[in-house]
Homo-oligomer: A and B are copies of this chain.
């Protein structure tokens, strides 16, 4: 057997373990009975330990050394070798005691964070957060970096991402999006939401709507499931078994539908992975930014477009005939596109969302470098929300304590949300050039051309090349925030008669 084949065979075993872990985690989040938690944790820890053992085997290191000298590898082989090297280095660079300490502290600090948020008392979380920041700094130092320490963490979630690449993207967003938001706020036009707020929205109707829309845009339910869970997500073991969830509220129907479209976007990406690369790293989805681009595309760019609202309106009327009696496609469209600065990231709109992320990004950069420390956090948070979103943060629960990420040590994760938004705009803009009148297709409920385009340009390309290279290959340009800004300007101009020349460099 060639060194390459031997390496790939080892990956199959590791991937099967990951698949099994994927099912166990899905089950844990969605349907596991409560008393099963302790033994489920043992099962998952066991899988992690054998996976780590296999991933750090010396033989993998030797095979990589050999293959990295091989000048005859093709694109896919190069991709696999690069990705396996990355995983191997990450797995071997972190000392075992450190991994255990981190895992233990993560469980602990997620508990104190939950309590601190519930009681609106930062001091409960303070010490564990401080320890977590120190652990994460150490993690970055173990992993290594060329320029700034935060780069090592960014690379965990989006391969090749650095502060040098992110800064200009966020700068452009800040300069262009903040004035847009200011314009809308000052204009003060809020659409009539009484048809939403004064009605009850039964769960069964929302379920039918979620299912029908997910099917229509292209999710294959023979190779996946829809369920409900407190924290909606997309998971499952492999492309033949992709499982997404949403949640239902009887007081408003948008969360379940747009959550479903978001997770369907993630799910279709998984279902579209290149099946000849099953079990291989190069056959996997390409990091969190690209993944988020697929969910945001269907949730926002498509789902919140006027054309989609026109197409979907009959489905709404079929399932909620009374509630929807006098509602037009335009009413629906306006209701799902309200721009309004708010405190909570996960409830924010397309225009303000990236400002929430930018604030976290700026804070994380300074925190990881050591420029600020844990006790500075509540004040900096409030200052930045006032400066960039124009709102006062009334307490820490609605402020610095709102997100789970830091308690898990997931520093460097937030920026991928914004990358997803930027990529989705770039990809849609490129797709439009290839596909002709895409708005007309959407209005007719013909989502196939767009999905096929994504299948070809993104899904089937797996992780063969780095995310930024893939964006370049698919769109002609490296990651940029221009298309997203343009998309937002056009939308706000349609919704609120904004003069786009105010922010465009003309």
Contact = CB atoms under 8 A, between A and B. Distances in A.
Interface residues of A, number: 33
Contact of A39 (B31, B36, B222, B238): B238
Nearest to A36: B241
Nearest to A34: B222
A161 B44 CA distance: 37
B19 A43 contact: yes
B32 A241 contact: yes
A39 B225 contact: no
Interface in A27-66: 27, 31-36, 38-40, 42-43, 46-47, 50
Contact of A223 (B17, B33, B223, B238): B33
A27 B19 CA distance: 14
A391 interface: no
A240 B39 contact: yes
B43 A16 contact: yes
Contacts of A32: 241
Contact of A23 (B24, B34, B221, B278): B24
Given A23-B23, A27-B23, A241-B40, A223 B35 contact: yes
Nearest to A21: B20
Contact of A240 (B23, B35, B278): B35
A265 interface: no
A362 interface: no
A415 interface: no
Contact of A35 (B19, B23, B36, B222): B222
A119 B481 CA distance: 64
Contacts of A43: 16, 19-20, 23, 237
A13 interface: yes
B13 A46 contact: yes
Contact of A238 (B17, B31, B36, B222): B36
B16 A42 contact: yes
A99 to B, nearest CB: 19
Contacts of A278: 39
A220 B394 CA distance: 44
A33 B221 contact: yes
* For the complex of A and B, 7 pairs with smallest distance between CB atoms: A36-B241, A35-B223, A35-B240, A36-B240, A16-B46, A35-B222, A39-B238
Given A33-B223, A40-B241, 11 more contacts: A16-B42, A20-B46, A33-B221, A33-B225, A33-B241, A35-B222, A35-B241, A36-B223, A36-B240, A36-B241, A39-B241
